[in-house]
Structure 1
Amino acid sequence: MAPAFNAQNILIIAPDARGFGQALAPHQWSSTPRMIADAKEELAWVQQHWPHTPLYLMGESMGGATALLLAAQPSTPSSVKTILLAPATVDIGQPLQTILDGWTLLTPNKRLTGAHIPGHRRIATDNLAALRRMFFDPLTQHGTTVEALDGLTHLMTHALNDAPSVRTPVLLIYGSNDQFVPPFATRSLLQRLPSTVRFDSIDGAHHLLTRDKRGVSDDILAWMNNPEAFLPSGGDFAATQWRWLYETQ
């Protein structure tokens, strides 16, 4: 979605999270406090270089959980607006969390791939060209470790627990075909977030919303230009239906 943003004179800064891409300690999980601290430092760096420019913090999936945690920090200015794209805020609960913690103590570096996920193969996006690029990109991680999976579950739970403390304006976007973050997790997150959060449900969209061909960028730009206006995708009406469907089950 970068070209659509650039066409509106919006600069995108996309740093690699610690342990991912070309950042420090590739393929190694740091910790939730360290990831929050990194995000704080990046935010301060951007504010220093563009002090009079409106700033939006956008995170997708695991990055959405990190952005949510930063939005809940008392030190984060309320002028910073937050965009959460399919945020990963799943609490796996007990005894699964304790079992995973114990597995991490025994074999933290054991490799895991998509083959370890039971059931049918999950589709991350309808953008096949993007999937091909990611498959052949040497910086894309096609597997993980038990330690990283354990760390991710703690990050997701921490973000869910901190959701009531969010203090920045928020746009939360979720796709009806998301096969990675289940609907019950998003419902739980919405129940904990402040009522002022704008919820946008995009019909047919998948987990990787920045790649999907569903006009996600149009909704984001519309919200940035006028937070009170209806969203082009009709996500406001779909969100109302989504809430009714999952809150009456």
Structure 2
Amino acid sequence: MALRIGIVWVLLLFAACAPRVQEAGPARFSPALTDTHYLTADGLKLKVRRHVAANPAAVIVALHGFNDYRAAFDDAGRWWSENNITVYAYDQRGFGSAPMRGIWPGDERLVADAGTMIDLVRDRHPGLPIYLLGVSMGGAVALAAAAEDPPVAADGIILVAPAVWGWSSLNPVYRGALWLAAHTVPGNKMSGQGLGIVASDNLAMLRALGQDPLVIKQTRTDAVYGLVELMERAYQSAGHVKLPSLLLYGARDELIPKGPVDVVAAQLPPPRRTAIYSDGYHMLLRDLQAEIVWRDIAAWAQDPAAPLPSGYEKRDLRAGLQPLP
């Protein structure tokens, strides 16, 4: 009897400390897009940053990574807009200037928001190809959205260092430790400092991020748990993607291991294109060699069958790191 009571108390403790997820409100509004905000069906106003091309040949909806926000695409967006591509970047729920900053929004809501944003952008730009681009966490959202039935109404997805390091790829010790932490101390925060991970070779950019108040520096344990759930969903979604894809990865990425990226790249249905940048880190769009990546994305967005200018395309992501001859 004492053991049974003890088990009940443990279960109640875990229930009381369950990972926190934002609760979406009822759909009370018609989603809308202005030049500065994205209004969701449940009434959230998510800030938008646009980079408008004078004569666009394509449009990109850009999804930022974990703890980042819309400004992640400022440099790339300006360059793309000067090269015939209009860009929309918005703060995803829980990040940047969005309400309930730091609280995990749930993968379903992130995926739904991306789909609605694509619809709104397509209404603004009839006749132009619309691509969903995701960086890191944003890449996981794009993967999941492209595997929906029906998929997000984009003409293709661009996956930049996609976050696909889910439960299947974590070793049992990490899995157990994260589950326990998320269910006992979900509100505890971690900074990631001292891990020795180099996210980019652009040190000036990294220092600026450290001073940017809209970049989250202290992450809740349950938000990390939610991210891993999303990454697992993305990992499992790869074989069910229903859109053309371009996957880009840096050979020096120290955040997302190459193993799960290999699996995702191999499972993506055709037409798929992949490239590895031998000097690329995790933050490919903001590395010192970022313009090489920007050019590849611009080329693919305007002609998905054209060669990538960098020459770093791979027939198989597991191949060597030399450009194709």
Same fold (TM over 0.5): yes
Identity of aligned residues (%): 34
Residue 234 of structure 1: how far off its partner (Å): 1.4
How far apart, in 1, do the equivalents of 2:80 and 2:305 lie?
A: 20
Distance 1:129 1:99, change over 3 A: closer
1:112 correspondence with 2:225: no
Q: How does 1:62-77 map to 2 (within 5 A)?
A: 62-76=137-151
- The residue aligned with 2:219 is 144
Structure with max Cα Rg: 2
**What RMSD over aligned residues (CA atoms) do the two structures have, in Å?**
1.9
| Residue pair 2:182, 2:222 contacting (<8 A) in 1 also | yes
- Counterpart Cα distance in 2 of 1:2 and 1:124: 20
1:227 aligns with 2:316: no
1:77–1:109 Cα change, 3 Å: closer
TM-score of the two chains, using structure 1 as the length reference: 0.89
Larger displacement relative to structure 2 (157-166 or 121-130): 121-130
Instruction: In structure 1, list runs of 5 or more residues that go unmatched.
Output: none
Listed one character per residue, the Cα deviations across residues 133-175 of structure 1 (whole Å, up to 9, x for unaligned) are 2111110111211100100111000011011110111000001
Q: Is the 8 A contact 2:134 2:140 kept in 1?
A: yes
Cα separation, 2, equivalents of 1:211 and 1:131: 9
Structure 1 residues 242, 43: CA separation in 2 closer, same or farther (over 3 Å shift)?
Answer: closer
Instruction: Classify the secondary structure of the residue corresponding to 2:193.
Output: helix
Question: What does residue 155 of structure 2 align with?
Answer: 80
Q: Is the 8 A contact 1:78 1:167 kept in 2?
A: no
More strand per residue: 2
Q: Could you tell me how far apart the structure 2 residues matched to 1:27 and 1:109 are?
A: 10
Match of 1:57 in 2: 132
Alignment map for 1:117-196 (pairs within 5 Å): 117=195, 121-196=196-271
TM-score for the superposition, normalised by structure 2: 0.70
Are 2:282 and 1:207 aligned?
yes
Q: Which runs of 5+ in 2 are unaligned?
A: 1-75
Q: Note if contact 1:176-1:206 (Cα within 8 Å) is conserved in structure 2.
A: yes
The structure carrying a bigger helix percent of its residues is 1
SS of equivalent residue, structure 2 residue 87: coil
Aligned residues: 241
Give distance in 2, aligned partners of 1:98 and 1:34.
26
